[in-house]
Structure 1
């Protein structure tokens, strides 16, 4: 009986290795025509994820009150303790974004890294300007292991963003959670 289990495991492993999903060589367009040229494939992925992520969303412009003072800053500076706490909760071993700086770098730098990050985050808070590099991300299509491998709809898009930006988001999110209450309704 045990011999048969190993045979099935081996067959399953061979079948899995046979599938080439690490690099999609061809993909189908909206009309189910197979695209083989690399530039056509990139255009298809771009249009698919653009429609997926932006479908039904409208850009809204908020009109500022002209009588409101613009330079008033009611937020307190970010403290090293906040950065340290957020950094502690960040997971290691995750794929890097476009800047290729993993969270492990900031953890290894210790107090020097905490001080530098705190100064950076306070500068961003005061200037109200996020670094342009943080606006970029790398989108990686991951096959869901079901359906047609050439169909874009059978892929999940994973955005690889800067880990430093994720740390910044976590600090701001912690501040917001402390200041607000969310009802069950």
Structure 2
């Protein structure tokens, strides 16, 4: 049996649990899960042996694999301020990064939108958001993602999809009708990701934003 077939077996077993959890289904899932783990370990060891044998010829591939296996990423310990100083305190590092990201951010200037050529005669009518629509979206949330500033984890939203669908549908509809987005939905957890080069240079980082999972479900 190939690795792909083992993965498919495990996924099918998990799908059966989602349809209805029973002791027998959980036993089948654990068996296939453990089988997949053994298969993955064997495949990983075989790949590592091949890399070691061909190290002289494919050094780049070897070090790329080593970096991919690192579980601890280097933290930001220092950052260059705009005046050239090297700051090391967490709050000062944060201020430097915020200042840089703000300087390169293009904000809305309040100018009037240019006239656009009419491309179609059809128009979007009234949009009605139903609890059923929201429930389906919540059920499809990726539970492996982190929660946003509101600290509501997607796993919680998924498990309470039916109960949460009605109040969220009301909020979404009101936001759409009034053309107003709640300020809480505009907040995000911003993480600086190093691109390349000097780690103390703010321009060598890009911001990654994580907003509320409620917003992402919509």
TM-score, with structure 1 as normaliser:
0.64
Distance 2:166 2:73 in 1: 45
Distance 1:162 1:109 in 2: 16
Task: Look up the match of 1:83.
Answer: 134
CA RMSD of aligned residues (A): 3.2
Distance 2:109 2:156 in 1: 36
In structure 2, which of residues 201, 204, 213 is the aligned counterpart of residue 154 of structure 1? 204
Q: Is the 8 A contact 2:79 2:201 kept in 1?
A: yes
Task: Look up the match of 1:107.
Answer: 158
More helix by share: 2
Deviations 1:70-100 (A, max 9, x none): xxxx623212333234334432211221101
Report which stretch shifted further, 78-87 or 131-140: 78-87
SS in 1 for 2:105: helix
Task: Look up the match of 2:118.
Answer: none
Distance 1:95 1:50 in 2: 24
Distance 1:85 1:109 in 2: 12
User: Once the 2 structures are TM-superposed, how far is the Cα of residue 151 of structure 1 from its aligned partner?
Assistant: 1.4
2:187 maps to 1:136: yes
TM-score, with structure 2 as normaliser:
0.56
- Which consecutive unaligned segments of at least 5 residues does structure 2 have? 1-48, 54-61, 114-124
Distance 1:167 1:59 in 2: 29
- Which consecutive unaligned segments of at least 5 residues does structure 1 have? 64-73, 169-185
Task: Look up the match of 1:48.
Answer: 100
Q: Is the 8 A contact 1:106 1:113 kept in 2?
A: yes
2:33 maps to 1:33: no
User: Once the 2 structures are TM-superposed, how far is the Cα of residue 62 of structure 1 from its aligned partner?
Assistant: 4.6
Q: Is the 8 A contact 1:107 1:113 kept in 2?
A: no
Larger Rg: 2
In structure 2, which of residues 71, 74, 99 is the aligned counterpart of residue 21 of structure 1? 74
Q: Is the 8 A contact 2:143 2:158 kept in 1?
A: no
